Amino acid sequence: MSFNKFFFLPISMIDYPNKISSVIFNSLCNFKCPYCYNVDLGKECNLDVDEIIKKVLEKKKVIDGVVFIGGEPLINFEDLLFMMKEIKKMGLNVKLDTNGSFPFHLDYLIDKQLVDYVAVDIKTSFKKYDFLVDDSDAEFTLKETARILRKNRIDYEWRTTVISCLFEKEDVLEIFEFLKAGEKYFLQSFSDNGRLLDREKLFSRCPEPYLPKKEIEKYVWLFKEKGIKIDLRRYK
Ligand code: SF4
């Protein structure tokens, strides 16, 4: 029996590209990104897996799919597996958002055809992951995740929430080298909702974490030249 708890958002128009979805949140994460704004999510997570499945069933007729979002969904692998199996039985699409640190769980889900679309974070260059997670093996896990996704069994995207000190020229160039032509890559705007995970840590290293659109745009052409399908999200 699972004691993990989840939060259910019945309808979202923005979390699954071109689809209406329900969203399932869990609050646990192996990372501690200081700019994370899911801080309050733990208090909202009060549903067990059976209650979640019941809620998806209630929405089944009006949604195209379900999105699993974090925290890090793959951290609760047993629960995730159970829910994905039930949701696929309903004939719905499944999207998974992950920080890329559980490639072998991801491979298993793709093999079992339990997931249809994956969004993976590239937070920064590998050497700066130590700002976000203790004992980072991000380089290994992200490269494994890429190898698994590039087997062409599934649709996927890469994405970066842009934080100024984690998206400096050297970081951008490393990400540029990592990505392949034809891949989708989204640059997402950082927004400060006033309830960040570790405001002091973030602002002590990045006094101005928000990077304006014009600063981002100077890199966009570079990615486009390589054939990467780059776009901006949540930038005004
Ligand atoms: S931003 Fe994502 S990966 Fe980072 S701590 Fe928050 S949920 Fe975890």
The CATH number given to whatever domain includes residue 80 is: 3.20.20.70
Q: Confirm whether pTM is higher than 0.85.
A: yes
- What's the confidence (pLDDT) of residue 183? 98
Residue 100 beta carbon below 6 angstroms from any ligand 1 atom: no
Tokens 């929430």, located at residue: 161
Closest CA to 177 of 126, 134, 138: 126
Question: How far away, in angstroms, is 161 Cα from ligand 1 center?
Answer: 10
In whole angstroms, give the CA distance from residue 61 to residue 58.
Answer: 8
Residue 81 counted as domain residue: yes
Phi, psi (rounded to 5 degrees) for 8 = -120, 125
- What's the confidence (pLDDT) of residue 84? 98
Query: Which stretches of the chain drop beneath a pLDDT of 50?
Result: none
In whole angstroms, give the CA distance from residue 34 to residue 201.
Answer: 6
Domain range for 89:
7-233
Residue 33 beta carbon below 6 angstroms from any ligand 1 atom: yes
Residue 66 counted as domain residue: yes
- Please tell me the total count of domains within the chain: 1
According to DSSP, residue 115 is labeled -
Give the closest residue (by CA) to ligand 1 atom 7: 71
- What's the confidence (pLDDT) of residue 175? 98
Question: How far away, in angstroms, is 81 Cα from ligand 1 center?
Answer: 21
Closest CA to 67 of 52, 48, 54, 45: 52
Could you report the per-residue pLDDT of 37-68, keeping only the tens digit for each? 887 777 788 899 999 999 999 999 999 999 99
What is residue 166's three-state secondary structure?
Answer: helix
According to DSSP, residue 150 is labeled T
- What's the confidence (pLDDT) of residue 2? 67
Residue 1 counted as domain residue: no
Question: How far away, in angstroms, is 32 Cα from ligand 1 center?
Answer: 6
Question: How far away, in angstroms, is 133 Cα from ligand 1 center?
Answer: 10
What order of strands is seen across the sheet that includes strand 229-233? 6-12, 21-26, 65-69, 93-98, 117-121, 155-162, 184-189, 229-233
